[in-house]
Amino acid sequence: MSFKHKAIQLLEKQLTKQALILDIRPWHNDTFFEVDLHVPDADFSKTNTVQHLKCRVAPLTFNDYTVSGWDVETRTCTLMIHAAHNGAGAEWVKSLSKSDEISYLKTEQHRYPAMDHGKWLFLGDQSAVGHFLALKQLANHNPNISGAIIIPDIEHCKQLRYFYPDFGLKSIPLHNGYTESILAFLDQQPVIIYDGICIAGNTTMVIEVRNYLKQRGIASNKIKAQGFWE
């Protein structure tokens, strides 16, 4: 190993914290993964806050993954990682096994309005499955949450229904692009009835769907949008 590589390794070791993989569940075709973690240094007790772990996926490369299904006392959680493309994060998650340690830089937090009452609409792609599960956990499973999520693999649609029967979002196929797929669903929705709308996933889709909702009369402060990947 070169001096440069050793120096990078040492630096990363000093800057990062560790989490232990308790279990890892690949979905059909090894293109989506649930990763159960014990994160001893994390604090999952903050209310109305979605957290992300900035995970080291390659030397000096850190990706955000959303904390879902967390337990405050045991400091455990699940990351849900889409890996149907070629990318450092996708390759990284495919290389992981139970009992491995992963390194992360820090946890980042995003505040959300209280969602345990009112009507909410969630819109996104498969990279946002964990994000929407996290919002549902914060919402104490408010039954008035609905929406649509793009799931390109038909087998993943079945697995999502089977493993998360209360997910409550409609799985829709990827057809003519991310924005177009969501807009085909939204065209039939009375969007004005919602107290808030959350959009997450492909960044272009998030921006375009947000603009479309504003054109349909939704105020900016009712839309919570987060671009995840480009």
Residues that bind ligand FAD (CB under 6 A): 52, 57, 63-66, 80-82, 84-90, 127, 130-131, 226, 228-230
Residue matched to tokens 């039954």: 143
Q: How far is CA 122 from CA 15, 74, 88, 166, in A?
A: 35, 29, 28, 14
In the complex, minimum distance from the CB of residue 144 to ligand FAD, in angstroms, rounded to a whole number: 24
In the complex, minimum distance from the CB of residue 210 to ligand FAD, in angstroms, rounded to a whole number: 16
Of 120, 225, 129, 118, which is closest to residue 179 (Cα–Cα)?
225
Q: Which is nearer to ligand FAD, 166 or 230 (CB)?
A: 230
Q: Which is nearer to ligand FAD, 37 or 90 (CB)?
A: 90
In the complex, minimum distance from the CB of residue 178 to ligand FAD, in angstroms, rounded to a whole number: 9
Q: Which is nearer to ligand FAD, 80 or 209 (CB)?
A: 80
Q: How far apart are CA 123 and CA 19, in angstroms?
A: 30
Residue matched to tokens 């890892």: 24
What Rg, from alpha-carbon coordinates, does the chain have?
18
Q: How far apart are CA 53 and CA 76, in angstroms?
A: 12
Q: How far apart are CA 114 and CA 10, in angstroms?
A: 42
In the complex, minimum distance from the CB of residue 217 to ligand FAD, in angstroms, rounded to a whole number: 28
Q: Which is nearer to ligand FAD, 130 or 147 (CB)?
A: 130
Of 131, 172, 180, which is closest to residue 150 (Cα–Cα)?
172
In the complex, minimum distance from the CB of residue 202 to ligand FAD, in angstroms, rounded to a whole number: 7
Polymer length in residues for the chain: 230
In the complex, minimum distance from the CB of residue 129 to ligand FAD, in angstroms, rounded to a whole number: 7
Q: Which is nearer to ligand FAD, 6 or 109 (CB)?
A: 109
* Closest CB to ligand FAD: residue number: 87
Q: Which is nearer to ligand FAD, 109 or 211 (CB)?
A: 109
In the complex, minimum distance from the CB of residue 213 to ligand FAD, in angstroms, rounded to a whole number: 20
Task: Please give the structure tokens belonging to residue 115.
Answer: 């969602």
Q: Which is nearer to ligand FAD, 87 or 177 (CB)?
A: 87
Q: How far apart are CA 163 and CA 226, in angstroms?
A: 25
Residue type, 196: G
